[in-house]
Amino acid sequence: MYVTALVCTHCGAEHPLDARLSCDTCLGPLEPAYDYAALRTTLTRERIEAGPRTLWRYVDLLPVAAPAPGALPVGLSPLVNAPRLAEALGLRELHIKIEAANPTHSFKDRVVSVASAKAIELGLEALACASTGNLAGAVAAQAAALGLEAYIFIPADLEREKIISASVPGARIFAVEGTYDDANRLCAELAYERPWAFVNFNVRPYYAQGSKTVAFETIEQLGWRLPDQTIAPIASGSLYTKIDRGFREFIDVGLVEGKVPVPYGAQAEGCSPVATAFARNEEHVVPVRPDTIAKSLAIGSPADGANAIKVANRGGGRIEAVTDGEIVEAIGLLARTTGYFTETAGGVTIATLAKLARTGQIDPDGCTVAYLTGDGLKTPDAALEFVAPQRIAADIDAVDAVLAGALL
């Protein structure tokens, strides 16, 4: 293991690799630190390529040892070239990363894979979380695979499909009257009372590291090449910031040469505190009450919002917001040009990419990678306007009549 300590990103204080959310000295956020000097002498492309066909091929840059057999196999989701979507948006080269290929059909399997391995190492008795949906399913499934109890706290108005996916593996579901932020506050209180691993609270410094494997895979799948620009959705801001860190780490340990990709971030207008602060050139993110169809991004008080703004400013990127109407339109555009049906968060990403391309705020000649974080079957109601089957008799003439009418 090359991880050395938990380090405060504000004051630099070091802490042991145990279950904790923040710095004892200043209450700042914690990040695992690694021995990059040692990694530069030992970590090679060949070592990675010889590893398992999961995100654990990058174990040297993760803060915990690989889990025992039985854990869900997570990672190495497809990176798909999307020439027809690129043409529609006026881009030269566009790839989409399909995180719906993970076991519970979202990128949250990555963070839970790392958090659950650390929970077992620390001897915690159960997995728990507050969730806007995808994390609930990932926690429930991984807990079942590992033989752990799961306790999940969701907003009471969450999509039925996401509640079902978390319930079937046997998790105990608590539907909290309020928003995600209300559920998260409840979990923060419980974390001090129960010997549970709240994956996005008391083991969050480890949990968040799973997201950077998306960047590692992108480089490897592009033939050990860096893209020029990326776009990812922003909820808490953790995925967006960790993708940036992943690119930087591969450069720092000498696995790839070049510039860090320009990072673009996407939010829904109905829950866009980070995009709003960015547009105002402010570092402080003002919490909002979510009101959007993109419920998996509906975090009104994002824990990593300020960090997301720093990443955007440092990398020359932007954070933009789009309307619910644009989100639905983008879901359809993606499906018609690539065949992939994404959930509303993916609609936010593609709609924002379209907006950036239309307004000339992204390089049309660069290699672009867009991250699609979940499956459209988790949010089917958002796409109902595309559903219009035509009822006909079982007769060839009836088919011809409909087709003739379509041509008029």
Question: What confidence category does residue 55 fall into, taking pLDDT thresholds of 50, 70 and 90?
Answer: very high
Query: Do 157 and 222 contact (CB within 8 A), yes or no?
Result: no
What pLDDT score does 405 carry? 85
Tell me if the pTM is above 0.85.
Answer: yes
Is residue 406 scored above 80 in pLDDT?
no
Query: Do 210 and 107 contact (CB within 8 A), yes or no?
Result: no
- Secondary structure (DSSP) of 207-250: HGGGGGHHHHHHHHHTTS---SEEEEE-SSSHHHHHHHHHHHHH
Q: Distance (Å, rounded) from C-alpha 339 to C-alpha 348?
A: 17
Range of lowest pLDDT (67-71, 172-176, 276-280): 67-71
More confident residue, 160 or 44: 44
- Model confidence over 386-398: pLDDT tens digits? 999 999 999 999 9
Is residue 300 scored above 60 in pLDDT?
yes
Average pLDDT for residues 347-372, to the nearest whole number? Answer: 98
If residue 262 lies in a helix (H) or strand (E), which one and from where to where? Answer: strand 262-268
What pLDDT score does 159 carry? 86
Is residue 284 scored above 80 in pLDDT?
yes
What pLDDT score does 407 carry? 65
Q: Three-state SS for 266?
A: strand
Is residue 142 scored above 60 in pLDDT?
yes
Structure-block tokens of residue 161 = 């499909």
What pLDDT score does 110 carry? 98
| E strand spans, 29-165 | 30-34, 79-81, 93-98, 126-130, 149-155
- Of 97, 94, 98, which Cα lies nearest the Cα of 85? 94
What pLDDT score does 355 carry? 98
Query: Do 113 and 77 contact (CB within 8 A), yes or no?
Result: no
Mean per-residue pLDDT of the chain = 95
Question: In the chain, pLDDT over 70 holds for what percent of residues?
Answer: 100
Helix 213-221 to helix 238-252 angle (10° resolution) is: 50
Range of lowest pLDDT (181-185, 233-237, 278-282): 181-185
Q: What are the chain's domains?
A: 79-105+209-386 (3.40.50.1100)
Question: What confidence category does residue 133 fall into, taking pLDDT thresholds of 50, 70 and 90?
Answer: confident
What pLDDT score does 1 carry? 83
Is residue 252 scored above 60 in pLDDT?
yes
Integer CA distances (angstroms), 22 to 203, 245, 285, in order: 10, 19, 19
Q: Give Cβ neighbours of residue 313 (< 8 Å, ≥ 6 apart).
A: none
Integer CA distances (angstroms), 408 to 211, 390, 391, 400, in order: 50, 16, 19, 13
- Of 205, 217, 204, 207, which Cα lies nearest the Cα of 75? 217
Q: Give Cβ neighbours of residue 349 (< 8 Å, ≥ 6 apart).
A: 231, 232, 233, 266, 330, 342, 370, 371, 372, 373
- Model confidence over 95-131: pLDDT tens digits? 999 999 999 999 999 999 999 999 999 999 999 999 9
Question: What confidence category does residue 408 fall into, taking pLDDT thresholds of 50, 70 and 90?
Answer: low
What pLDDT score does 5 carry? 97
Question: In the chain, pLDDT over 90 holds for what percent of residues?
Answer: 92
271: alpha, beta or left, given left = phi > 0 and alpha = psi -120 to 50? beta
Integer CA distances (angstroms), 119 to 59, 199, 227, 276, 284, in order: 16, 8, 34, 36, 32
What pLDDT score does 40 carry? 97
Average pLDDT for residues 297-315, to the nearest whole number? Answer: 96
Average pLDDT for residues 210-216, to the nearest whole number? Answer: 98
